[in-house]
A = this chain, B = another copy of it.
Amino acid sequence: MTALKHKQPDGSMTAQSPLDRMATMLGAEMTATNALILDRMQSHIPLVSQLAAYLIAAGGKRIRPLLTLAACNACDPSANARGLAAAVEFIHTATLLHDDVVDESAQRRGQASANIIFGNKASVLVGDFLFARAFELMVESNDIRILDILARASRVISEGEVLQMSLTGNIDITLDQYAAIIEAKTAALFAAACHAGALAAKADDATAEGWRLYGHHLGMAFQIVDDLIDYAPDGIAMGKDAGDDFREGKMTLPVILALQKADDTQRTFWARTMQRHDQTPADLITAREIIASHGTIAQGRATAQNHIEAARAAIAALPVTPTAKVLDELLDFVVARDH
């Protein structure tokens, strides 16, 4: 797991982010989940295992399976959500594989993406394999309600990806349409990950709904911050190529907010670079400057902060267990992160 530095409100760095602490607290469960992920990524077809091993080596934060384990642990420390956590990670990984094919990405998690190394064909098919494996793992949970939640989330993700594709380069996109995209492509799985974890611990409906809402708002904030980072001046952008969204013509929050304040020259710039997709490398610098000039990043972080407050409110009435406490601290971390 990649260690993320944690910037405190005063700008200092702590050794361990809430994500790291959560991984430490749930160490045994996370180790078992990682072993399960490794085991179920195997296939008697060598190319499947090779591509899967490549993805595993690339790491990633495993934030979604951690959320499943943590929500489960917050409700009942003796319950087991390992299989569901692995399933959630598989759904996410399958989505990433297909995304990289669709976006023609060259990098993922700081290394060449699987479609570059193994080709688009293998990426599409191994994505299908991982998606099916996720369902096999979910079936083992033997809980129809959880299966329903995760099947639905998988469908919503694909709808979100199609909606995002449909609106690529469309400079008339509304904030509501943007919210619908990120709710579907990101928040739905965060919500389902937490919901499934709570249900695996046999939480009552109100508690499970609290964790579902927590996951939803955390996911919204997470994606908003991701989208802001892509235009940050020093954007390391989570191991993706910084500026990917711009180059792909994805209409994300900073661009939409900048468009709202754009003068004619700027609107012409966005129409050329995003809508007609006529870009030079220098245009990314201009895009960042326009976005910075409007205070768009701060405005975007405020939107993310609203979701953080809603996530906090969703679990405010639930028992304050040690895991619940770290999940609460995770909220501030997600908005504060800059890479």
Contacts from A to B (Cβ < 8 Å)? 43-48, 94-95, 98, 101-102, 120-122, 124-129, 131-133, 135-136, 138-139, 142, 144, 147-148, 151-152, 154-155, 157-159, 161-163, 165-166
Contact = CB atoms under 8 A, between A and B. Distances in A.
Contacts of A133: 155
Contact of A142 (B124, B128, B135, B144): B144
Nearest to A140: B148
Given A48-B162, A124-B98, A125-B162, A155 B139 contact: no
Given A139-B148, A144-B139, A122 B155 contact: no
Contacts of A95: 128
Nearest to A131: B131
Given A45-B163, A139-B147, A151-B139, A158 B122 contact: no
A151 B139 CA distance: 8
- Of A102, A126, A162, chain B has the most CB atoms within 10 Å of the CB of A162
Nearest to A130: B158
A159 B124 contact: no
Contacts of A152: 132, 136
A163 B121 CA distance: 12
A122 B165 contact: yes
B125 A148 contact: no
A124 B101 contact: yes
Contacts of A127: 128
B125 A161 contact: yes
A165 B147 CA distance: 31
30 contacts: A43-B162, A47-B166, A48-B158, A48-B159, A48-B162, A95-B128, A98-B128, A101-B120, A101-B121, A101-B124, A102-B120, A120-B120, A124-B124, A125-B162, A126-B158, A127-B128, A128-B154, A128-B157, A129-B155, A129-B158, A131-B131, A131-B154, A132-B152, A132-B154, A132-B157, A132-B158, A135-B147, A136-B148, A136-B151, A139-B144
Given A45-B163, A48-B162, A102-B124, 16 more contacts: A43-B162, A46-B166, A101-B121, A120-B120, A122-B162, A125-B162, A126-B158, A129-B155, A129-B159, A129-B162, A132-B158, A135-B135, A135-B154, A136-B152, A139-B148, A147-B147
